[in-house]
A and B are shown apart, each in its own frame.
Chain A
Amino acid sequence: MKIAVCIKQVPDSWAQKTMGSDGRLDRASVDAVLNDLDEYAIESALKLVEANSPTGEAGEGSEHSITVISMGPERATEALRKALSMGVDDAILISDEALAGSDALATSKVLATAITAGGFDLVICGTESTDARMSVVPAMLAERLSFAQLTFAASISVEGSTVKISRQTEFGVEEMSAQLPAVVSVVEKINEPRYPSFKGIMASKKKPLATKSLAEVGIATGDVGSSAAWSSVKDSLPRPARGAGIKVTDNGDGGSQLAAFLAERKLI
């Protein structure tokens, strides 16, 4: 089983995010971290290999491998190194100045091209990145690759070439299955991502991390980036801060005061 895990480096979700004058997220002024929802995808890949390999390990001598793939600026190597230190075998970063400002369509095109080139049979993603929060890239990858789509997995197992997941949707709890190749996205309750061990961190420094330009993956620069984005931001404004409202201390009638406020607003 050749597993690809797609990850993204994002602004720290605790940081205050602002819009730059170009209508894009100002990424330079905030700390960049591995999208925490992607850690669940990495952990899922590691657990699948442990469950399917006699030695419990991927990599050399194993029929299984895990590759993390990301698209982003050079500093996204930090996020890839973290994945390597968790136990992933190797990493690919597609990095090119022409990629700046790419929309989800271009992102999915670049990732799909790298996945096809690598011959992967299982692609695992988090459900969304905590910056753009569109949650469309896993579905777009399935569409582009013609892979089976099993998204929002709360559990995952692979037996032979069959992948099974269970998930909670608005319809109820669904069990889904498909033949590989498949794209799976995992929700955060699927597991508890491991912390990189000291040994893992040391080992990650020697693991292969390939940085590829668009030309090297075979995509024309004109097909990606802000000039090729199929949607554009007209303007953005900081939302006026919610005026600090009324704040009372409960001295036995806090609930009544609250009810009176709701009545005044005609909410009850």
Chain B
Amino acid sequence: MSEVIILVDSVAGKVSKATAELATFGKRVGSVTAVICSSDSAALLPQLSTMAIDKVITCTGVDFEKHSTGATAAALAEVVKSIKPAAVLIASTARGKEIAGRLAVRCESGIITDAIDLDADLITTQSVFGGSTTVHSSVTHGTPIITIRGNSIEAIVGSSTPSHEDFPVSYDGADKAVVSSLAPAVKGGRPELTEASIIVSGGKGTEGNFAPVESLADALGAAVGASRAATDAGWYPHSFQVGQTGKTVSPQLYIAAGISGAIQHRAGMQTSKTIVAVNKDADAPIFDVADFGVIGDLFAVLPQVTEAVTAKKG
């Protein structure tokens, strides 16, 4: 039976939802071996038992957090050489794509990034050109290295008792880039943008007041996003930017409030399952991709939605 490697994605000791999704895709191809490259491995390991994972390999001997993605790619390359998997699946985050890129060089293997689907024959589906074109591709050389976007599949949840082994690695890049300090991200109560199943985003139309956007997001248990116009104006942190140069998201529901929907923004959210737009301008391009659009003032419309959602929840 084919064996597929997935790289465990985690932040601050918490395994991401993307990891469970990678495992679910991996199961289509064969048995799933999850590789941990993190100094939090003891905390991460038990969290993997709810996922479709057959075996866990913990790479030991390197301070992965201190180095750039080179150390993780080097460790993963050692694992790939040792077990010769049918494919390596990695979360399509900025960090995940770097690791994949370096791994592809190290293993002399083809790479596909930002897949939104993967079949049993390792044929990927990608949504390109701002979501206007769907492409099917495959890797034709070496061990296919594929990064998959979050929220692309409903993850299998269950319980398993994967076998576990340590895999000692070394990294010769100790003299290279080093993280000298880290101010941990302030954890809000809201879900991560790339993992959220609902996102409420604000743009120029908020005029800097994100309160109605945040209230609706909190009523829905949603993440808050922002257009580039809003982040450039300093109204919301850049890390919340959705669009071509920000995050690419694909939630079940995307609510765009006061966002005109320039092609760069649409490129980051067009594959959302349901899109809702609220905008004063009836000609705003966001309405071209919206399943439901309200021509109106977000300051009037959003609170009404928030009220209805809250009422429904009782």
Q: A interface vs B, CB < 8 Å?
A: 13-14, 16-19, 23, 25, 37, 103-105, 108, 127, 130, 133-140, 142-144, 147-152, 168-179, 182, 187-189, 229-239, 242-250, 252-263, 265, 267-268
Contact = CB atoms under 8 A, between A and B. Distances in A.
B179 A176 contact: yes
Interface in B34-64: none
Interface of B: 11-12, 65, 68-70, 73, 93-95, 97-102, 104-106, 109-114, 123, 127-142, 173, 175-185, 192, 198, 220, 238-239, 244-245, 252-253, 263-264, 270, 274-276, 278, 282, 287-297, 300-305, 307-309, 312
Contact of A255 (B99, B113, B182, B308): B308
Contacts of A173: 182-183, 185
Given A139-B101, A231-B137, 18 more contacts: A19-B128, A127-B94, A134-B113, A139-B69, A143-B102, A144-B105, A149-B70, A149-B98, A149-B176, A149-B177, A179-B175, A229-B110, A230-B110, A230-B139, A239-B132, A242-B290, A262-B276, A262-B292
B95 A237 contact: no
Given A105-B111, A258-B292, A140 B102 contact: yes
A139 B73 CA distance: 10
Contacts of B127: 239
A105 B110 contact: yes
A188 B228 CA distance: 11
A83 B142 CA distance: 37
A258 B110 contact: no
A150 B294 contact: no
A229 B301 CA distance: 50
A136 B98 contact: yes
Given A174-B181, A248-B295, A255 B305 contact: yes
Given A173-B182, A259-B304, A130 B292 contact: no
A232 B137 contact: yes
A21 to B, nearest CB: 13
* Main DSSP-derived SS at the B contact region: mixed
A238 B198 CA distance: 26
A258 B301 contact: yes
Nearest to A137: B101
B70 A142 contact: yes
B100 A136 contact: yes
Given A231-B112, A261-B276, A250 B198 contact: no
Contact of B105 (A108, A188, A254): A108
Contacts of A265: 274
B182 A171 contact: yes
Of B177, B185, B289, B307, chain A has the most CB atoms within 10 Å of the CB of: B177
B177 A177 contact: yes
A249 B185 contact: no
A249 B293 CA distance: 8
Contacts of A179: 175
A182 B177 contact: yes
Contact of A143 (B101, B110, B113): B101
A85 to B, nearest CB: 23
B133 A175 contact: no
Nearest to A245: B291
B301 A255 contact: yes
Contact of A175 (B134, B176, B181, B295): B181
A255 B304 contact: yes
B111 A230 contact: yes
A172 B182 contact: yes
Contacts of A246: 291-293
B193 to A, nearest CB: 10
Contacts of A19: 128-129, 133, 135
Given A248-B293, A248-B294, A18 B129 contact: yes
Contacts of A127: 94, 245
Given A18-B129, A238-B132, A254-B294, A174 B179 contact: yes
B245 A37 contact: yes
Contacts of B173: 148
